[in-house]
Structure 1
Amino acid sequence: MGRDTEERVWSRREIENLIAEGRKVIIVDGKALKVDPWLPYHPGGDKAIMHMVGRDATDEVTALHSAETKGKMMKFTIGRIEEPWVNFRPPIQGGKFRLINDDCPGKSDMSSNQSVSDTISSGTATPTSSSSEREFILDPRLRQRKPAADASSISSVSEGDDEATLSLKQEQERRLMEDLNIYPSLDLATQQNVITKYRELDQKLRDKGLYECNYSAYGWECFRYCTFAALFLYFLNTGWYKLSATFLGILWHQLTFTAHDAGHMGITHNFVADTFIGIFIADFCGGLSVGWWKRNHNVHHIVTNEPDHDPDIQHLPFFAIDQKFFKSLYSTYYDRVMEYDRFAQFVIRAQHWLYYPMLCFGRVNLYRLSWEYILLGQAPRKGIAAWHRYAELLSLTLFWVWYGYGVVYKSIPTVEDRIIFVLISHVVPMPVHVQITLSHFAMSTSEVGPAESFPQRMLRTTMDVDCPQWLDFFHGGLQFQAVHHLYPRMPRHNLREAQKYVIEFCKEVEIPYAVYGFYEGNKHVIGRLAEVSKQAAIFKECQRYCMENPGH
């Protein structure tokens, strides 16, 4: 990076022009980075980068990468930017960009790339209550929601909308206004204060050593894993196949947490070492691709709970947690339309009843996604992660050799016992799927806009689960999802300690901190699924009425 490049100052309009030309420009630490060459090399996939184009990605980059990796990114610097920076909506999210040659006299610099919610985000029409009126409530059940502001001022309905579509849009606007009334204002000054306090807390947590791995805790983890593995093998060899399958399922459930740690480089903090650990645990021991998980999970951490973009809530035809799915939503992650067909309509109408039964077989879907990732070329083919695809292909194959052939086929004599063994071993880890969905399904899915800061977005869309400390091993750190989303590279055994500092941060910046007990959280999720199910029935009835009465 030459001195001329370092001194070059880019205006927001010039950055917009670069993006309009197809360049992938992100902002990190006040510098513009043109990362087009990095897309095929990024170990976490290209989608995560695409969601940062035109945005200040400083907090996302810092949260998800080591300082060493962040330093390497700076070689893509093309200059500095005019500050304060106002985020664009990335092209992958529908943002529109103009070439400089397209400028017209009297056309505002802010006229492009703004949606309804972006206009609110600029601070000119933010209907949030004053900070003196807003309260920090630890438990969302106790939060006194204020009457939502008049949504008519941001109505995005069109004359051609039928009653069903109009009803959906009104519900989305109601939820958006509710969020805007509860959370801090989206004006630049307020959000910059949230960011400043968030970064100060990050440094405080580092100074307290909470980014350092507690290896003694992993000693107990390994002892637990070895115990479950030994019991699985013992009962397998003695013919107690149901007990054997149970302990294998428990082992898979527990190993998931360490695979999650390794995927975030939260164990050794070394890319190669943690990748080896992740591949061994996830691929060889569990039959699931850690590379697929990284690609999926990185996007989830950036666009959490956004129906169009977050793959962790895109579960049609089995689940819908937002009314957007009723209109056959286009997934920017899967690059396809998620059809709200007749089968989906039937399942969604009963999703609150089917939630737990379907999660019992969630692992089967992960097998499919893992092999698609490996065989369809979604894994990085260049750079430091190029070898991952081959290591994972070998490990996934070996998993089916030891599990499918060695255990199920060779060690269990009858077909009936084999079927029962497979079912039990796959149903027992079901709680991990509950734990994953629990932290997000009941939270906000509103599309607030690019003005919202990273920490506020994470706390708006994620909740923690309250449990006694002795049960931490069962939840595996997933009970501290709000803390984890703020600081994803922090080792999970330190999350409980970090939680008290996050609570203080939330009080200071007046962001509600969502926490439920495990039972209450499940109840809230089922309630959300039931609510959407009911709305699906209403939507269907509206559609039927519109078809029968086209003139009304």
Structure 2
Amino acid sequence: MPLPTGVVDRRSTNLSRRQVEGLVADGHAIIIVDGKVLKVDAWLNYHPGGDKAIMHMVGRDATDEVNALHSLEARRRMNAYQIGQFEGLWENFLPPIQGGQFRAYDEGGEKARGRGERSDLSSSWNSSRSSTPSLDGHAPLMRCRGPRSVAESPSSSSVSSLSSSDFAEHKAEETMPSYIDAWTKREIDLDLSTYPPLDPVTQDEIVRKYRLLHDRIKAEGLYKCHYTSYLTDLCRYVLLFSLCLLFLRWGWYGASGMFLGLFWHQLVFTAHDAGHMGITHDFTTDTVIGIIIADFLGGLSLGWWKRSHNVHHIVTNSPEHDPDIEHLPFFAISHRLLSSLRSTYYDRIMPYDSFAQFFVRYQSYLYYLVLAFGRFNLYRLSWEYLILGLGPRKGPAWWHRWFEILGNVVFWYWFGYRLVYKEIPTTWSRFVFVMVSHIVTMPLHVQITLSHFAMSTADLGVRESFPQKMLRTTMDVDCPEWLDFIHGGLQFQAIHHLYPRIPRHNLRRTQTLVIEFCKDVGLPYALYGFVEGNKEVIGRLADVARQAAILAQCQRVVSERTDLGHHT
């Protein structure tokens, strides 16, 4: 309906970067999509994918992230939140959740500020920040360290006021940031020398060709789902579950548990597709499919997975922000996790305490053993999400929580009560059945971690384009086509991160197009065999363990020398 004469549509208002900065400083969630300025404050608590994913896009051009993760219908609905538009090339801010600071906007005082008057920095978003930005927009080398046992900073307490033991501890802690900063700089320098430059011209060209590739993929029909492929998958699921029941009836409880574990292993692939709306591309239909598979048949929460996984897709391999690599005390895949970083996802310090120090020291040896029990941790995370109500309670996804709780109750009835308790006669047999069924899923956890644990965790700043970041932090696993059903499409993680909504049965064809794109723009494409990929992961874990040992040794030497100096 046309607007009355004299009424200006606010969506056509041109906003400057300073005005957008001022809106963020006032606490508003502002993102840029296709040149449209969207104020999505009201949507944060209703977003089916969780509020954290949006918060990592505040102050940024989120066009590629939004287009990759959302359907056309969802993108059209976003227009309701448009408050203006931006002309020209947008220069990203560091989002507040990542430590970005924003100047308040005073239209009347902008000229005065332009003559050198300094404006105030808003702190309305800063309660959750994990770091502070550097002047060039890159993430700083110095990271948060968690509580200190002495003064918060050297300036807040004189050295003479400390006891000799406190001073020794203080000096030992001082070695941590300098050592970690040196490794961080080395990692950043390596990536800067390996990947295309971060200047706007180069990155814009990568984005332009990435979007052209999207148009080509769409024209070839690779977003269309071939349902006959799922018919084959369904036959496999029925076969595995039938074998589980058959061996259970025969009293072969170990074999029965093995086939149940394989059944769960295969189901995850379809649940993953549904979570990304890669089956029917309809939000409600795919959500119901995903919940039935994940919750009713697997005892896990699809909503928890989506909330975590969407953040993972946006800030991939960031030690401070990506929950998929935040596994302390068991694993540290980055040296930065040795400094007790604050997780913006979990909103807490990840302490590098004595327990973590022990596990990190032996993490390359304990990797497969710990992953063997990974499914038990997924139960905990799922129930924590559902009980605490961490998902949206209003909006289009309000009913998901209750449907998932029902699904988990049904799961524990048929699995815990009917299968384990009623059908298996002895405690030992029950234990064997449960442990085998859960440990058999371990290769799935290996598959999930394989594509990221060995890749870069460096932060190259806000100038890096979405496609370059995805290819820098993700590897693909090479395997013959006949083994695709074992990997379930997860071997194409780099392709999946670029285009998450492509059905997994089309990823192999998409891979050839992405390889052409990478050669064209000069982006390295990481492709390893399954064995070689595992070696890379173990090598990364061993490398971080060595760094942890060196850091511990440095701290001991500094402490001993300082203590000796005081005695002298």
Show the counterpart of 1:220.
232
1:521 is the counterpart of 2:541: no
The Cα of 1:117 is off from its aligned counterpart by 8.3
Cα offset for 1:377? 1.3
Pairwise CA distance, 1:164: 2.9
TM-score normalised per structure 2: 0.88
**1:224-248 deviations in Å (ceiling 9; x for gaps):** 0000011011111121111110000
Residue of structure 2 aligned with 1:93, choices 82, 87, 98: 98
Match of residue 426, structure 1, among 423, 438, 442: 438
Q: 1:444 to 1:108 in 2, by over 3 A?
A: farther
1-side partners of 2:432 and 2:375: how far apart?
16
| Amino acid paired to 2:13 | R
CA contact (8 A) 1:157 1:166 kept: no
- Out of 244, 254, 260, the residue aligned to residue 232 of structure 1 is 244
The one of 107, 110, 115 equivalent to 2:133 is 115
- Partner Cα separation in structure 2 for residue 432 and residue 155 of structure 1: 34
Q: Which of residues 324, 333, 342 is equivalent to 1:312?
A: 324
AA in 2 matched with 1:234 = L
**2:465 alignment counterpart:** 453
Q: 1:233 to 1:444 in 2, by over 3 A?
A: same
User: Which residue number in structure 2 is paired with residue 62 of structure 1?
Assistant: 67
| Separation of aligned partners in 2, 1:29 and 1:502 | 23
Aligned length: 519
CA distance in 1, matches of 2:105, 2:283: 41
Matched, 1:478 2:473: no
Counterpart-to-counterpart distance in 2, 1:107 and 1:306: 36
Paired residue type of 1:115 = P
Other-structure match for 2:82: 77
Letter in 2 for 1:9: N
Deviation at 1:6, TM superposition (A): 2.4
Distance 1:162-1:63 versus aligned 2 partners, 3 A rule: same
* 1:381 alignment partner in structure 2: 393
**Among candidates 37, 44, 53, match of residue 42 of structure 2:** 37
Match of 1:339 in 2: 351
Q: 1:436 aligns with which of 448, 469, 474?
A: 448
Q: CA RMSD, aligned part only? A: 2.1
Q: Which residue of 2 aligns with 1:129?
A: none
| 1:287 aligned partner | 299
Distance 1:500 1:108, change over 3 A: farther
Paired amino acid for 1:360? A
Task: Provide the rounded CA distance (Å) in 2 between the counterparts of 1:290 and 1:178.
Answer: 37
Q: Secondary structure at the match of 2:83?
A: strand
Query: 1:463 maps to which residue?
Result: 475
Tell me if structure 2 keeps the 8 A contact 1:284–1:395.
yes
CA distance in 2, matches of 1:270, 1:164: 49
Letter aligned with residue 195 of structure 2: Y
In structure 2, C-alpha distance between the alignment counterparts of 1:267 and 1:178, rounded to whole Å: 39
Q: CA deviation at 1:546?
A: 2.6
| In 1, Cα distance between equivalents of 2:141 and 2:496 | 35
Equivalent residue number for residue 288 of structure 2: 276
TM-score normalised to structure 1 length: 0.91
Structure 2 counterpart of 1:168: 180
Secondary structure at 1:306's aligned position in 2?
coil
Separation in 2 of the partners of 1:9 and 1:114? 30
Contact 1:307 1:322 (8 Å CA) reproduced: yes
- Structure 1 residues 74 and 155, CA, compared in 2 at 3 Å: closer, same or farther? closer
Distance 1:298 1:117, change over 3 A: farther
| Counterparts of 1:215 and 1:294, CA distance in 2 | 23
Q: Which residue of 2 aligns with 1:27?
A: 32
Q: Amino acid of the residue matched to residue 290 of structure 1?
A: L
Distance of 1:482 and 1:226 partners within structure 2: 30
CA distance in 1, matches of 2:193, 2:137: 16
SS at the partner of 2:264?
helix
Letter in 2 for 1:307: P
**C-alpha distance in 2, partners of 1:120/1:503?**
29
Q: Distance in 2 between matches of 1:275 and 1:117?
A: 43
- Letter of the 2:496 partner, please give it: H
After TM superposition, give the deviation of residue 155 of structure 1 in Å: 7.3
Q: 1:254 aligns with which of 266, 282, 288?
A: 266
Deviation at 1:383, TM superposition (A): 0.7
- The one-letter code sitting in structure 1 at the alignment partner of 2:116 is G
Matched residue SS, 1:79: strand
Q: Please, which runs of 5 or more residues in structure 2 have no aligned partner?
A: 123-130, 145-152, 155-172
How far residue 379 of structure 1 moved from its aligned partner, in angstroms, is 1.5
Matched, 1:106 2:116: yes
Quick one: distance in 2 between partners of 1:491 and 1:498?
10
Q: What is the CA distance between 1:106 and its match in structure 2?
A: 3.0
Query: Structure 1 residues 256, 117: closer, same or farther in 2, change over 3 A?
Result: farther
- For residue 114 of structure 1, report the CA deviation from its aligned partner: 8.3
Amino acid of the structure 2 residue aligned with 1:329:
L
Query: In structure 1, the residue corresponding to 2:9 is in which secondary structure?
Result: helix
Partner-residue secondary structure (3-state), 1:87: coil
- When residues 157 and 410 of structure 1 are mapped into structure 2, their CA distance, relative to the original with a 3 A threshold, is closer
Other-structure match for 2:333:
321
1:119, CA displacement in angstroms?
4.9
1:541 Cα offset (Å):
1.3
Counterpart residue identity of residue 82, structure 1: E
Closer/same/farther in 2, CA of residues 120 and 53 from structure 1, 3 Å limit: closer
Which AA in structure 1 matches 2:420? Answer: V
> Once structures 1 and 2 are overlaid, which stretch shifts more, 237-246 or 523-532?
237-246
**CA–CA separation in structure 2 for the residues paired with 1:333 and 1:460:** 22
Bigger Rg, which one: 2
Structure 1 residue 169 displacement after superposition: 0.5
The separation in 1 between residues aligned to 2:74 and 2:466, in whole angstroms, is: 20
Cα deviation for residue 165 of structure 1 reads: 2.0
* 1:372 and 2:390 aligned: no
Aligned residue in 2 for 1:397: 409
| Equivalent of 2:203 in 191, 196, 199 | 191
Name the CA distance, whole Å, in 2 between partners of 1:241 and 1:548.
57
Distance 2:549 2:361 in 1: 7
Letter in 2 for 1:201: L
Spell out, residue by residue over 1:54-73, the C-alpha distance to the aligned partner (whole angstroms, 9 max, x if none): 00000000000000000001
